[in-house]
Structure 1
């Protein structure tokens, strides 16, 4: 049976940080390629005129997904209270944007700062875990007040020492103990951390709100060695009806490329990355075995 999903693509594939001036041209291009959703990566909320972006979404018949960027100054687990507060304030601003743009959730690894991968004593790890749980419960309350959910994303071991896989995340969500807490799975990180992606997706179950995809080397879907059949079977088993969104990054932005360690072009062009990826995903979602 075909998957009942929509296809999306991240603004990070072309630009960083996303700003209002990017919207008209980028949204029109994404729609021409056949996508139904645009995943807007909010690095700096002050760069986004929400009314204008919302207008461009409507002009191009696109729906928005919102994800966040969690650098060292937005760290809900940090010993420095000012950095924890900075993270909470940023999340609240993103939740407000999500409401205005009609996104039903806000996604990202918001439990800690990206790139925070250290060997620390167990007591410190437990302290940071507890801070994440406590602060994310508050985040969930703020999301629920806005009729939103959050989609927490595990990161691979080179980018986080706190939450690396679905097992980690389901434990954290159980401790957060709030219905607004959900899951975002990123295929790139899963290809490193999950021995069996089908099992991981089944474990996420009805808490899975969003899935991001790219190949094992963060390249165009269908061009690498990711276990696409297992991802299909997992999503089919849980009756997933959300969005499958291409997420990778442009090497043209040197700061972003350095942050995610992309030292070469991963496709002929970023447009080719998106359009070829869309074509593969469209066929993959039909479940026809000759595509896999």
Structure 2
């Protein structure tokens, strides 16, 4: 039997993550019974890695590090300064991975989130090639530090480049580096994948992280996602990584606007996390 570890993103409550966030949220996350916390890094300069590591140790939590990729961090941009800024940001995230003993950086780091345009095949190839080139360099840096990257497909409203596991498989094939791996987010999969089980099967042993929320980004188990199909697929894939809730609150205006959440999905975010964990423990026991 495989017993996956269960996590939750601090984005469920707040943004951006800072050193103070760790001491505010980690005790609550631990008391709920979580194994790990997913830390989205928006501004590395606001995070004291050593203090956060102390909080992780104090509350016996492991960490997953997720990148945040906006317009100033875009490997497909025509301006090489923007591309270089993305490289520098990822290197800062790698430092946090090392401090927190995390083996990979996760996220849609191929391009800026929100790039959703009708490009010509020629324009699309230029951007694809830029992403491939830059990500190969990132993989070389990652491998030198014993790390991997977990590339995340996004739904069509958030990315015009990588929407499905098939897309990310092609990207990894073109990058052609063993440090390039896959993460999936069930919210995006539920929009883009015709068959959840086939997508998990296609990801195979490259799959190293799974994020979940229900079809409307709500508490897992309260919507229309076929959780039975997903659980069986992960079991068949012998998936041993973490399963982590990612959702948001409209109380954080900038982030809510970016992900188009205009209403509270639940009355209480702590209840979202607690109920979601209970559902995960019941569902992903394979």
TM-score (norm 2): 0.99
Paired residue for 1:290?
Answer: none
1:274 partnered with 2:273: yes
1:48 partnered with 2:42: no
Q: How much has 1:96 moved relative to structure 2?
A: 1.0
**Is the 1:186–1:212 Cα contact (8 Å) retained in structure 2?**
yes
Q: How much has 1:285 moved relative to structure 2?
A: 1.5
CA distance, structure 1, for counterparts of residue 232 and residue 195 of structure 2: 11
Q: How much has 1:82 moved relative to structure 2?
A: 1.0
CA distance, structure 2, for counterparts of residue 24 and residue 155 of structure 1: 31
Paired residue for 1:132?
Answer: 131
Paired residue for 1:38?
Answer: 37
Paired residue for 2:56?
Answer: 57
Runs of 4+ in 1 over 3 A off after TM superposition: none
Deviations 1:102-160 (A, max 9, x none): 11100000000000000111111000000111100000011111100000000000000
CA distance, structure 2, for counterparts of residue 220 and residue 159 of structure 1: 21
Q: How does 1:141-156 map to 2 (within 5 A)?
A: 141-156=140-155
Paired residue for 2:195?
Answer: 196
Q: How does 1:35-184 map to 2 (within 5 A)?
A: 35-184=34-183
Q: How much has 1:25 moved relative to structure 2?
A: 2.1
CA distance, structure 2, for counterparts of residue 91 and residue 51 of structure 1: 18
CA distance, structure 2, for counterparts of residue 104 and residue 286 of structure 1: 24
Q: How much has 1:286 moved relative to structure 2?
A: 2.4
CA distance, structure 1, for counterparts of residue 131 and residue 21 of structure 2: 33
CA distance, structure 2, for counterparts of residue 121 and residue 242 of structure 1: 38
CA distance, structure 1, for counterparts of residue 248 and residue 94 of structure 2: 23
CA distance, structure 1, for counterparts of residue 122 and residue 196 of structure 2: 31
Secondary structure (helix, strand or coil) at the match of 2:282 reads helix
Q: How much has 1:250 moved relative to structure 2?
A: 1.6
**Is the 1:4–1:240 Cα contact (8 Å) retained in structure 2?**
no
CA distance, structure 2, for counterparts of residue 278 and residue 268 of structure 1: 17
Q: How much has 1:24 moved relative to structure 2?
A: 1.2
Deviations 1:11-59 (A, max 9, x none): 1001100000111120000000010000000000001000000000000
Count of aligned pairs: 286
Give unmatched runs, 5+ long, in structure 2: none
Q: How much has 1:4 moved relative to structure 2?
A: 2.1
**Is the 1:3–1:285 Cα contact (8 Å) retained in structure 2?**
no
1:224 partnered with 2:237: no
Secondary structure (helix, strand or coil) at the match of 2:183 reads strand
Give unmatched runs, 5+ long, in structure 1: 288-292
Secondary structure (helix, strand or coil) at the match of 2:106 reads strand
